[in-house]
Amino acid sequence: MSGIVPSDPAPEPAAQPGATPVPAPVAAPTGRAQSAVRRVLVYVILFALVIVTANGLAGLLEMLFSTGRVLSGGDDLLARSLAFTFIGGPLLGVLWWWQRRRFADPAERSSLMWALYLAAMSTVSLIVATVALAQTATDAIDGRWQPGPPAFGLVWAGVWLWHRWMRRSARTAPTRLATVPVVLGAVYGVAVVTAGAVNALATLLEQALGGVTPGLVGTTSWGVSVAQALVWTAIGALVWWVHWHLDRAKDAPGPFAAVMLVVVIAVIAAITLFAVGTLLFVLLRALFDTDPLGEILRPVDTAIAAALIGGVVWAFHGQVLATRPARTGRIARLMISAVALVGAASGFGVVVNALLATASASLVDDDPRTLLLGGLAALAVGFPVWWIAWRPTRPVPDEHAAGTARRVYLVAVFGASAIVAIVTLLLIGYRLFELLLGSGGGFIERVRAPFGLLSATALVFAYHFAIWRRDRRVVRATAPRVAVGRIVLVATDAPADLAQRLRTDTGAALTVWRAAPAVAGGVDESVLARLHEQLAGVEASRVLALVEPDGAVRMVPLSE
């Protein structure tokens, strides 16, 4: 403050008797709004200039690689690339030089916009570079040469390396959301390596099954297809390894890493369960259906590959999940339960649909057997997995019943079920009135599909609504009776562990205001005990708790 206060302040005029005192002006936060707007504009422009310059350089490199070839675009491509490079490039350099000087201020490195910019540009450059380089390799395997993919791959790989250096440099590394681009890169690597491995294994299985089922033989060379799929697998594995091991995504703390781990497990669980359900469907059709075997076995290669690769990826991330906090494991279990529930409910609805189809007189020439087998396969896979994940017969501890994740899951499930049920009821009503107004077709034929969906959603809604009500009764019975709704604590220091104990013991929301040492004191074990004593006799929706410099506590109830 001494740097902004005049050294010889003018004496203030004496207050006149009876005059109303004029409050001293309060200094407003200087430049916060302006800084926020400036950061948004700077990083949006920086993002655009990086894209423009990279595309310009890639265009020039593409023309260099295409010596002796005629490119579509001609002079227009050259003019655009030169403009992007020699106008966008210098502008990018000046803007980055100007912004880089500001990183001497810790507030710049801790800004949200800087972290979001790095995450967005790192992810975009990684995707563009890997897709272009993979396209280059697959074209080479196929005996083709296109100058565009290698040019864009090299330039955007350089952009990614540049931003990776920014993330790791002590001068420019963000202090907020520092692990977001690393986690996103690891997730992208998992997606690429999974897709590539599934395609490679499916192609091999297709070739192996070709002698038994000629309908599965492809029109392209299977060796080329396998090699191209392995290129994607190798690139995805490299991307995953760099982010997971070198950049330590496996040790990334914070909620974002936990959320992405749960999302990966949920997605890979859905892929694996769908593949297993498809295999069971193929088996049931092979045993009980009358269609040709080649047509029945058509999806078996992709289903086997997806089930095997998905199971391996699922098992690996399950081991990673075991090292995370128990709360993350419970959330992942809820997500798997939701995925399996969708499959089981869909299978039940399809079974009802197929059973109604057998009673429809207009469908005597059609065989609903395939529909019934599909529903039974989905139900046979989804229901056991849901039972294992949800554990309906196991008692739920009170703290788990009161958990936010479980309550959100229950509300989301029966809420979505209610919406689907309302839509299907409207559709059934529409079909009924359509029939009454003289349109052709039988009633069962018209309503069997929405009625099957309605029956499944009705069961899901009823069960989860009953569970939600039971959990709510448990929470109300075990929740502590709170006399104070919110505590505003004024102190020089309130350690996080003591503040959490105060929240837990009182059940009240806590807001900490830090004061100057001359006004208040800090919170320690003795002060915490005095706070409990003072709060015991207070009944108010809000209280102000001031810790005096000597450790005494003054409690002030606040009005609404």
Mean of the pLDDT values across residues 281-309? 90
Query: What is the spatial distance between Cα 429 and Cα 447, in angstroms, rounded to a whole number?
Result: 9
Residue 217 has pLDDT above 60, yes or no: no
Mean of the pLDDT values across residues 317-336? 92
Residue 351 has pLDDT above 80, yes or no: yes
Q: What is the pLDDT of residue 212?
A: 54
Choice between 408 and 558, residue whose per-residue pLDDT is larger: 408
91-95, 151-155, 212-216: least confidently modelled range: 212-216
Q: Residue 405 — pLDDT band, cuts 50, 70, 90? A: confident
**Residue 248 backbone class (left: φ over 0; alpha: ψ -120 to 50; beta: rest):** left
pLDDT more than 90, % of the chain:
47
DSSP summary character for residue 251 = G
Residue 166 has pLDDT above 90, yes or no: yes
227-231, 237-241, 484-488: least confidently modelled range: 484-488
Strands 540-547 and 553-558: antiparallel
The C-alpha angle with vertex 131 and arms to 126 and 136, in degrees rounded to 5, equals 125
Written as one string, the DSSP assignment of 406-417 is: HHHHHHHHHHHH
Q: What is the pLDDT of residue 129?
A: 96
Q: If DSSP codes are grouped into helix, strand and coil, which group holds residue 175?
A: coil
11-20, 137-146, 160-169, 174-183: least confidently modelled range: 11-20
Residue 491 has pLDDT above 70, yes or no: yes
Query: What is the spatial distance between Cα 169 and Cα 155, in angstroms, rounded to a whole number?
Result: 21
Mean of the pLDDT values across residues 461-484? 76
Q: What is the pLDDT of residue 343?
A: 94
Mean of the pLDDT values across residues 315-322? 93
Please provide the average confidence, as pLDDT, over all residues in the chain.
84
Choice between 485 and 261, residue whose per-residue pLDDT is larger: 261
Q: If DSSP codes are grouped into helix, strand and coil, which group holds residue 554?
A: strand
Mean of the pLDDT values across residues 65-87? 77
Strand order in the sheet with 553-558: 509-514, 484-491, 540-547, 553-558
Q: How many CB atoms lie within 10 A of CB 34?
A: 9
Q: Residue 506 — pLDDT band, cuts 50, 70, 90? A: confident
Instruction: Give the pTM.
Output: 0.78
Choice between 78 and 383, residue whose per-residue pLDDT is larger: 383
- Positive or negative torsion for Cα 114, 119, 122, 124: negative
Q: What is the pLDDT of residue 146?
A: 87
Choice between 521 and 31, residue whose per-residue pLDDT is larger: 521
Do the Cβ atoms of 527 and 521 come closer than 8 Å? yes
The C-alpha angle with vertex 397 and arms to 395 and 403, in degrees rounded to 5, equals 125
Query: What is the spatial distance between Cα 384 and Cα 509, in angstroms, rounded to a whole number?
Result: 41
Q: What is the pLDDT of residue 333?
A: 94
Q: What is the pLDDT of residue 501?
A: 77
* Phi–psi pair at 522, nearest 5 degrees: -90, 170
Q: Which of 341, 331, 344, 332 is nearest to 413 (CA)?
A: 341
The answer for residues whose C-beta is within 8 angstroms of residue 191's C-beta and 6 or more apart is 236
Mean of the pLDDT values across residues 431-435? 84
Query: What is the spatial distance between Cα 375 and Cα 382, in angstroms, rounded to a whole number?
Result: 10
Q: What is the pLDDT of residue 439?
A: 66
Q: Residue 522 — pLDDT band, cuts 50, 70, 90? A: confident
User: At residue 207, what is the residue type?
Assistant: Q
Q: What is the pLDDT of residue 91?
A: 95
Q: What is the pLDDT of residue 108?
A: 87
Crossing angle of helices 222-241 and 180-209, rounded to 10°: 160
Do the Cβ atoms of 47 and 92 come closer than 8 Å? no
459-462 contacts at long range (C-beta below 8 A, 24 or more positions apart): 459/345, 459/348, 460/341, 460/345, 460/413, 460/414, 460/417, 461/414, 461/417, 461/418, 461/421
Mean of the pLDDT values across residues 322-336? 91
Residue 205 has pLDDT above 80, yes or no: yes
99-113, 354-368, 386-400, 441-455: least confidently modelled range: 354-368
Query: What residues form DSSP beta bridges with 335?
Result: none
pLDDT more than 70, % of the chain:
87
Q: If DSSP codes are grouped into helix, strand and coil, which group holds residue 556?
A: strand
